[in-house]
Amino acid sequence: MVNTISRIIADLHQDFQGCLDGQLADYIPELTKADSNWFGISLFTADGHGYSVGDTSQLFTIQSVSKAFTYGMILDEHGVEKVNSRIGVEPSGEAFNSISLDPETGRPFNAMINAGAITASGMVGGSGLEQRFEKIRKRFSEFAGRELKIDDEVYRSESATGFRNRAIANLLRNFEILDDPVDEAVEVYFKQCSILVTCQELALMGACLANGGVNPVTGDRVLKAKNVERVLSVMSTCGMYDYSGEWVVNVGLPAKSGVGGGVVGVLPGQIGVAVFSPLLDEKGNSVRGLRVFAELSRLFNLHLFNYPAISEYVIRRVYKLSEVGSQRQRIKKHHDVIHEHGDKVTVIELQGDLFFAALERLTRIIERNAETTSTYILDFRRVVLTDAATEDLLVNVSADVEVTGKQLLIVDPASVLERSRPDLEACKVVFTDDVELALEFCEDQIIAEHVAAPTVSDLIPFHDFDVFNFLTSRELSEIEGALEMEHFQADACIIEQGSQPDMLYLLSRGSVSICLRQGESDSEKGARVAAFGPGVCFGEIAVIDGKLRSADVWADDPSTCYTLSAANLEKLEQGSPAIYAKIIKNILLLQIDRLRRFNQEVSSLRS
Ligand code: GLN
């Protein structure tokens, strides 16, 4: 089956195939040798997948597209401050080769016009023309993911005719923007413009910028992350010369064009796009390049300022512990306490990308629930991405929660957040990988606060089990004779999935997990679907309906159980039907109670 994106760009290519408006660049004689029909469109995603149609393997000279990348290189090499002192970031609104410098400082307006670009090439460190050019060629090759070569003919052709650029360079020298040797800077610039690329490679170079400065195919960092934003900013205001304003309105992507016919555009975080077609308009921009970009932007809604409101979806849901509890089954009394006081725990589930607007929403939810809440659980299991500024904001949220004496638990199994931050630790934020553990932890706190919970070593006497409610003391002593006691080590398998149900268990001490294995070959422990604490009866359902055990039961801690065998239960049924009836009714009541809780949970999940 054809890939839909491939088909759409193939259609687009078809639509503009016949457009032969514009002229080949002829001020560099060698460029007139280009074929007017050449036309390619390439897309590279920020995760390194390429789409291409047309003449996307045809080599052509990179020309002014190089300016964006050399600007990035000198930012990496010298830092913003030094670069800023020599090259501005203001759009000039003039042609690419205009002889215009800031009248006060002599600085070129920006690095996308020739004056700024020649200055940038002059700032690439090294001794001698070859070494400095080699540095540029190497770095461009890393962007393109292939060893790039120079077109010597084009270079010589431009060097032989580049008087205007030499004049600009000398003017720059006059204002002490450009250091000596001036000629060398111009030659480095001419050589850099003559580097050969394909449309596919240009798209990948753009994708490196879309991907925060890392080549998504090779995985190499090709530009410092902090400089990407600056390069893209200048591209978006100045990249298309005196067409830049129109471009931002029509296309809305940072982009750079060159007289070789290439145009590269970048949608940060998503794609790099390149169009190659050497017929140019009077401003030196590829005619088909402009048209295809405008159409692509419209088709795929790529305009940077046309951003969907996402903050609404970032909060997946908000619930209270009283509505949705952990999977731990407890004695009824404890469930009742949790139900009664569970409003004090507010769970906020977040999803997707966590940026400013999402955090702002979170602050509103925290504020709205503040009166009743003593613990917030932030469930980050579905959060994919955040950034440093948002993380700082979260630290501020944590601090505000902490000063009011409330606690904050963050469930973040994928470590989206940098949890070892001392400022987070100072706010006493507790991290866990498991939302179950967080819920259980809060439940335990509520129980400890409102009822005396048994300590680990206490054995719950059999007559305290809910399953023996309503039994008279005579009946209880009869039951006692039917019970046995079993001890299990931590990690022992108490019940095996698929086995015969011969026993019901009353957990007197310790803790067990119910785990479900999927499929025959699954020898792992399987997913935990529930956990039981002391006072809870388990294994009773299969004893009653006679079906094979439907899950494994594992001892999490050293555990002690009273056991009532199926045979003894049957004896009770025959010999003491009154006792049997009470036990069955108690089991039924416990199941009803569970069902009620599940129903409430399901309805709160659906709402
Ligand atoms: N080498 C060309 C020049 O400086 C690059 C110009 C361009 O691509 N706009 O004239």
Q: What is the pLDDT of residues 286-320, one digit of tens each?
A: 999 999 999 999 999 999 998 777 667 889 999 99
- Give the residue-averaged pLDDT of 389-418: 93
Whose C-alpha lies nearest to ligand 1, atom 6?
64
513 and 531 Cβ atoms separated by less than 8 Å:
yes
Place of tokens 């003039």: 94
Residue 96: CB within 6 Å of ligand 1?
Answer: yes
Distance CA 317, CA 306 (A): 27
Residue 114: CB within 6 Å of ligand 1?
Answer: yes
Question: What's the token pair of residue 197?
Answer: 């690329």
Closest C-alpha among 445, 401, 452, 450 to residue 427? 401
Domain containing 408: what range?
Answer: 315-450
Q: pLDDT digit string (tens) for 486-505?
A: 999 999 999 999 999 999 99
Mark whether 27 is an active-site residue: no
pLDDT at 597: 85
pLDDT at 385: 86
- Give the residue-averaged pLDDT of 65-92: 96
Residue 455 lies inside a defined structural domain of this protein: no
The answer on pLDDT for 425 being more than 90 is no
Q: pLDDT digit string (tens) for 42-72?
A: 999 999 999 999 999 999 999 999 999 999 9
pLDDT at 270: 94
Q: pLDDT digit string (tens) for 551-595?
A: 999 999 999 999 999 999 999 999 999 999 999 999 999 999 889
278 and 24 Cβ atoms separated by less than 8 Å:
yes
Residue finishing a domain among 306, 336, 358? 306
Q: pLDDT digit string (tens) for 152-176?
A: 999 999 999 999 999 999 999 999 9
Cβ count within 10 A of residue 379: 21
Residue 258: CB within 6 Å of ligand 1?
Answer: yes
Say yes or no: 78 and 208 in one domain: yes
- DSSP reduced 3-state for 51: strand
540 and 504 Cβ atoms separated by less than 8 Å:
yes
Rg (CA), the chain: 35
Distance CA 241, CA 234 (A): 11
Share of the chain above pLDDT 70, in %: 98
The answer on pLDDT for 522 being more than 60 is no
pLDDT at 33: 93
Instruction: Give me the CATH number covering residue 583.
Output: 2.60.120.10
Helix (H) or strand (E) holding 277: none
Residue 241: CB within 6 Å of ligand 1?
Answer: no
**Cα-based angle 533, 536, 542 (whole degrees, multiple of 5):** 120
Higher pLDDT, 432 or 542: 432
Whose C-alpha lies nearest to ligand 1, atom 4?
114
Mark whether 259 is an active-site residue: yes
pLDDT at 422: 87
From 52, 53, 67, 383, active-site residue: 67
Say yes or no: 292 and 348 in one domain: no
pLDDT at 51: 97
Q: How much distance in Å is there from the Cα of 59 to the middle of ligand 1?
A: 17
Pairing of strands 345-354, 315-320: antiparallel
Distance CA 564, CA 570 (A): 10
Atom number in ligand 1 closest to CA 258: 8
Residue 372 lies inside a defined structural domain of this protein: yes
Closest C-alpha among 291, 294, 322, 333 to residue 18? 291
Residue 457 lies inside a defined structural domain of this protein: no
The answer on pLDDT for 520 being more than 70 is no
The answer on pLDDT for 454 being more than 70 is no
Distance CA 109, CA 120 (A): 12
Q: How much distance in Å is there from the Cα of 35 to the middle of ligand 1?
A: 18
Distance CA 135, CA 155 (A): 17
pLDDT at 68: 98
Phi, psi of 601 (to 5 degrees): -60, -50
The percent helix, strand, coil of the chain (3-state, each to 5) is: 45, 20, 35
Instruction: Give me the CATH number covering residue 324.
Output: 3.30.750.24
Say yes or no: 255 and 174 in one domain: yes
Residue 58: HSE in the Cβ half-sphere, 13 Å Cα cutoff: 21
Residue finishing a domain among 415, 450, 485? 450
The mean pLDDT value of the chain amounts to 93
Q: How much distance in Å is there from the Cα of 175 to the middle of ligand 1?
A: 22
**Cα-based angle 367, 368, 370 (whole degrees, multiple of 5):** 60
The answer on pLDDT for 476 being more than 80 is yes
Residue finishing a domain among 450, 479, 500? 450
- Give the residue-averaged pLDDT of 323-346: 92
Say yes or no: 411 and 539 in one domain: no
Say yes or no: 250 and 375 in one domain: no
Say yes or no: 65 and 120 in one domain: yes
- Give the residue-averaged pLDDT of 86-99: 87
Cβ count within 10 A of residue 390: 18
- Give the residue-averaged pLDDT of 104-131: 94
Place of tokens 């010369």: 241
Residue 148 lies inside a defined structural domain of this protein: yes
